[in-house]
């Protein structure tokens, strides 16, 4: 067991980028990543856990660099056959990726938990971090839109995030429990920081925050909670974060993200391009370049974020 541990709360593509930076700079076994499962769904009879798989593939250095999800050097024979025979093709399942969904589905049907299956996949992929589903209970993100309520993947992939969003709900969350692994990671005596990755606050982090007891676990840990801004220069790097903020009637600013997280966080990592918002943010701010173009950027952002968290711990001790 490492002398200090770190917990990251993450969605998919954006969160996995910082998680990889953390993995590369921390000692082996020091990192636990609690991953959103609100995007999970059943498709063609298979259990798909997109954010868990994005985390697995990114940390195993086998993610498709163009999309940020799915495997690199993927082949698409199954999808081509589907298309030829009039099968559903809106959700792209690569041939290599299919193995993961098939095996996950089989093991879940035989009674294993998503946590157990994920831990085994991570071990087989040679990943020295814990990848923890936020819950082993079913939670489904539902998106209220101009076209009525849509399932998450219907909104995100099938409708390409086009319908205007008027609200979100996390079906099942009120009765769901944080996974045992998440509870243990947040309860670790040597936990030194909790990082809210630069994931979409409304789609990726809010499902985690909707789990009963999650906030209490974060607070009871005593570790500083630091969020990394998902906006760079007032825009999302990828995905619908800015579009959703505008549709929900919020200013598209890092300040609105900080207000959204309100009393969940102790510090905020703000992108240098958004320096003008520093004075609006009513908590300690680290101003730095948060754009992660390559692995060096990810390591650097992970490192300065952990230093910032350590500074918050010292501040708290002398306050
Ligand atoms: P998804 O679940 O696959 O949509 O991915 P996440 O929710 O984990 O991440 C989406 C968010 O990541 C978006 O708000 C992006 O702006 C943000 N993001 C992606 N890459 C970067 C980056 O390099 N730096 C920062 N600061 N944010 C990023
Ligand atoms: N995203 C897409 O935009 N189109 C796809 O066809 C698609 C397929 C897919 C298959 C497996 C998987 O693990 C992820 C996949 N994603 C796809 C990404 C994913 O649905 C979203 O990025 C997340 O759910 C948002 O976090």
Number of CB atoms found within 10 A of residue 234's CB? 15
Residue 235 forms beta bridges with which residues?
232
Q: How many domains are contained in the chain? A: 1
CATH number at residue 25: 3.40.50.10680
Q: How far apart are CA 55 and CA 15, in angstroms?
A: 8
Residue 3: predicted pLDDT: 78
Contacts of 71 (CB under 8 A, 6+ apart): 57, 62, 63, 64, 94, 96, 97
Beta bridge partners of 193: 6
Please tell me the pTM assigned to this model: 0.98
Closest to 40 (Cα-Cα) out of 94, 115, 110, 146: 115
Q: Which of 4, 39, 26 has its CA nearest to residue 203?
A: 39
Judged against a pLDDT cut of 80, whether residue 61 lies above it is answered with yes
Q: pLDDT, tens digit, for every residue of 23-34?
A: 999 998 999 999
Q: Has residue 174 got a pLDDT over 90?
A: yes
C-alpha closest to that of 277 among 268, 310, 247: 268
pLDDT in tens, 254-288: 999 999 999 999 999 999 999 999 999 999 999 99
Whole-number percent of the chain with pLDDT over 70: 99
Inform me whether the pLDDT recorded for 2 exceeds 70: no
| Cα 27-28-32 angle, rounded to 5 deg | 100
Give pLDDT, residue 166: 98
Ligand located closest to 10 CA: 1
* Count of residues making up the chain: 319
Predicted confidence (pLDDT) per residue in 64-84, tens digit: 999 999 999 999 999 999 999
Q: Reply yes or no on whether the pLDDT at 217 is more than 70.
A: yes
Which residue range forms the structural domain that includes residue 309? 5-318
| Dist. CA 319–CA 314, nearest whole Å | 9
Nearest ligand to the C-alpha atom of residue 273: 1
How far is residue 106's CA from residue 120's CA, in Å, rounded to a whole number?
14
Q: How confident is the model at residue 319 (pLDDT cuts 50, 70, 90)?
A: confident
Task: Using the predicted structure, report yes or no on whether residue 251 has a pLDDT greater than 60.
Answer: yes
Measured distance CA(208)–CA(230) in Å, rounded: 16
Q: How far is the CA of 266 from the centre of ligand 2 (A)?
A: 32
Average pLDDT, the chain: 97
How crowded is residue 51: how many other Cβ atoms within 10 Å of its Cβ? 28
Spatial distance between the Cα atoms of 251 and 234, rounded to a whole number of angstroms: 10
Query: Torsion angle of alpha carbons 147, 150, 152, 154, nearest 10°?
Result: -70
Write out residues with Cβ below 6 Å of ligand 2: 11-12, 39, 48, 50-51, 53, 69-70, 91-93, 97, 153, 156-157
User: What is the number of the ligand 2 atom nearest to the C-alpha of 204?
Assistant: 26
Cross-strand pairs, 287: 270
Residue 1 has pLDDT above 70, yes or no: no
pLDDT (tens digit per residue) in 198-213: 999 999 999 999 999 9
């Amino acid at each position: 067991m490492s002398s200090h541990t770190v917990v990251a709360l993450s969605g998919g593509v954006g969160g996995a980028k910082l998680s990889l930076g953390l993995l590369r700079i921390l000692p082996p076994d020091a990192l636990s990543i609690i991953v959103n499962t609100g995007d999970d769904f059943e498709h063609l009879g298979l259990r798909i856990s997109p954010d868990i798989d994005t985390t697995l593939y990114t940390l195993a250095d086998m993610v498709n660099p163009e999309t940020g999800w799915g495997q690199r050097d993927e082949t698409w024979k199954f999808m081509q056959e589907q298309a030829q025979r009039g099968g559903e093709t809106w959700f792209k399942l690569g041939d290599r990726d299919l193995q993961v969904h098939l095996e996950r589905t089989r093991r879940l049907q035989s009674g294993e938990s998503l946590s157990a299956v994920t831990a085994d996949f991570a071990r087989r992929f040679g990943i020295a971090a814990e990848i923890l589903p936020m819950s082993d209970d079913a939670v489904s993100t539902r998106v209220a839109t101009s076209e009525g309520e849509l399932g998450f993947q219907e909104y995100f992939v099938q409708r390409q995030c086009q319908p205007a969003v008027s609200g979100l709900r996390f079906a099942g969350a009120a009765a769901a429990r944080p996974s045992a692994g998440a509870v243990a990671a947040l309860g670790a005596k040597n936990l030194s920081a909790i990082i809210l990755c630069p994931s979409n606050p409304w789609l990726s982090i809010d499902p985690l925050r909707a789990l009963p007891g999650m906030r209490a676990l974060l607070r009871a840990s005593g570790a500083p909670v630091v969020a990394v801004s998902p906006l760079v220069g007032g825009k999302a790097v990828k995905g619908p974060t800015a579009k959703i903020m505008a549709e929900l009637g919020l200013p598209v600013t890092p300040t609105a993200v900080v207000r959204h997280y309100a009393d969940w966080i102790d510090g905020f990592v703000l992108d240098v391009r958004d320096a003008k918002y520093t004075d609006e943010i009513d908590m300690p701010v680290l101003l730095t370049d948060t754009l992660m173009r390559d692995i060096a950027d990810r390591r650097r952002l992970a490192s300065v974020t952990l230093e910032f968290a350590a500074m918050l711990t010292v501040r708290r001790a002398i306050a």
